[in-house]
Structures are given as structure tokens and as C-alpha cells.
Amino acid sequence: MSLAQTKPEHELSTGARPIGATTEDSAAANVQQMFDTIAPTYDRANHLLSAGLDRSWWTRTARVFRPVLQRPESVVLDLCCGTGDMTMALYRHRPAAPEAAPILAVDFSHQMLARGAEKFAPHNIIPIEADALHLPIADNSVDLVTSAFGFRNLANYEAGLAELHRILRPGGQIGILDCNQPEGLTGALYNLYFKTILPRLGGLISGTPAAYRYLPASVERFPRPPRMLQLIREAGFTQAHWTSYTLGTAGLYQATKKA
């Protein structure tokens, strides 16, 4: 058996791989279809399954980037925005000045973005239906890119980071908020809930059990903080660090594009 074959699955992974997906294209299509399907119940399921913690995570993340958000000229992009709760958390820190640049809210799930667009309609937010690995955004044009619980669904993490690096201005920042697999007793209790209880509850709420079986599998496959920080640095970012949220069950990756 080779060394590569003895590595944990999450270290072999370069991106999301739902059951049955063998290529990046099929993985992306599978994820897109899955989110289109669960869009009608997505918000309700998220709030219930996280016991409301998702709101505190979005709020805490937006607060971290308050200095850049408060500059009217800052161009902000919320990637994999889904139904827009992270986008709205960011927007609360934007100035009311008429010259303030709009927030760009990007997702490739039409049904998820349609629900987000309803929240965005009264505000200075532009929904964009696009693939995170092929963004219709100019080089060196964005000051801040955030992504809340969406980055781990990309079919290629390295390509996703490269795309973020491409669109950011020198000195621009990334903030990737996502789930994590904690260790020790916390990890054991987390696994009991996340792998046994959550898929059943999510399936009952959404009527799509497969989507909520994919959720814990996607977290298990996602790189742990040391590996993810390595990927971020290899993509050309500096000042990369991870902040643990709620006993390590989630956390925020921050980094800056070299000035």
C-alpha cells in the first residue's frame, strides 16, 4: 500500500465529492442540484439544526471585517452566498452613503440565489448567479471576499483559492467561515449529533435525506485547519490564521493577498 493510500480521506481530497461523483464536473453538478432541491427549507433547517448558532457565527464574522466594510469604496463579494444570511450580516456594517459600492452576492444555485435576492431587493446588494471557480469578476478588483459554509462544497479547493487570489486587489482579504471536525470528547459528541441525529432531522425537515447525509461527509472530507492554512498560503496569501468558533465545531479562516 502506498503512502498516499494510508492518508485520511480529508487529506486526499482536493474538493467536494458527493456520493456517486467521480470528477470535478460531476461533483459540481451534484452539489448544484442538491442545493436547488433543498432551497425551500434551507433557512429553517439551518436555524433548527444549529440551534441558532449559525446567526451568531455570521454576526461574529461580519464584525471581524467591519473596518473594510465601513469604507464606502470597498468592493465586497460574498461567495456561495446561498439564501443570503451572511450577505445581510455584512450589509449591516456598510455605510448608508449613496456612493457606497454594492455588495456582490454570488451563488451557482439558482433556487438558493432566488431566495437570497428577495432579501437583497431593498438593499444595495447585487445577486450574481455564477460558478465560484469561474467568477465573472475582473482581476484585482475586490477588497474583501467572504464565504460562509459554502467553500467546502467547491469541487476543487486549490482552484477556488486561486480564483479568490485573482479577483482580490493587493492587500485584499478573505474570510472563509466553515465547519470543522473537532477532536477529543467534543469531537465524539459532535460526531454523535452530526453523523447520526442531524441527517435524520435534516431529512425530515427537507424531505431530502441524501442532502443531510452529504453534510457530515463534506465536513469530514474538508481539510483540517493546519492543512487548510497550508493551502491558503500556497495560493499566495499571507497572514493566514484560523479562529475557532464554538469549541472548534466551526471557525473562520482569514488571510491577506500580498500588497
| pLDDT per residue as tens digits for the range 28-66 | 999 999 999 999 999 999 899 898 999 999 999 999 999
In a domain, 85, yes or no: yes
In a domain, 10, yes or no: no
Nearest CA-CA partner of 153 in 128, 135, 169, 176:
176
In a domain, 93, yes or no: yes
Q: CA quadruple 187, 152, 145, 107: dihedral positive or negative? A: negative
Nearest CA-CA partner of 15 in 190, 166, 151, 209:
151
Total structural domains within the chain:
1
How many Å from the N-terminal Cα to the C-terminal Cα in the chain?
44
The pLDDT assigned to 250 comes to 95
In a domain, 8, yes or no: no
In a domain, 164, yes or no: yes
Q: What is the pLDDT of residues 234-253, one digit of tens each?
A: 999 999 999 999 999 999 99
In a domain, 71, yes or no: yes
Pairing of strands 125-129, 237-245: unpaired
Q: What is the pLDDT of residues 186-237, one digit of tens each?
A: 889 988 888 889 889 998 988 898 899 998 899 999 999 999 999 999 999 9
The pLDDT assigned to 4 comes to 35
The pLDDT assigned to 195 comes to 87
The pLDDT assigned to 14 comes to 85
The pLDDT assigned to 10 comes to 42
% of the chain residues with pLDDT over 70: 95
In a domain, 121, yes or no: yes
How would residue 125 be classed by pLDDT, with cut points 50, 70 and 90?
very high
User: Do 226 and 147 form a contact (C-beta atoms < 8 A)?
Assistant: no
Mean pLDDT across the stretch 98-113? 97
Q: Which long-range CB contacts under 8 A does 221-224 form with residues at least 24 apart? A: 221/9, 221/10, 221/13, 221/16, 221/17, 221/152, 222/10, 222/13, 222/152, 222/178, 222/179, 222/180, 222/181, 223/10, 223/11, 223/13, 223/157, 224/10, 224/180, 224/181
In a domain, 226, yes or no: yes
Burial class (CB in 10 A: 0-12, 13-18, 19+), 139: exposed
The pLDDT assigned to 194 comes to 85
The pLDDT assigned to 187 comes to 87
Domain of 99: which CATH number? Answer: 3.40.50.150
Q: Which domain holds residue 242?
A: 19-257
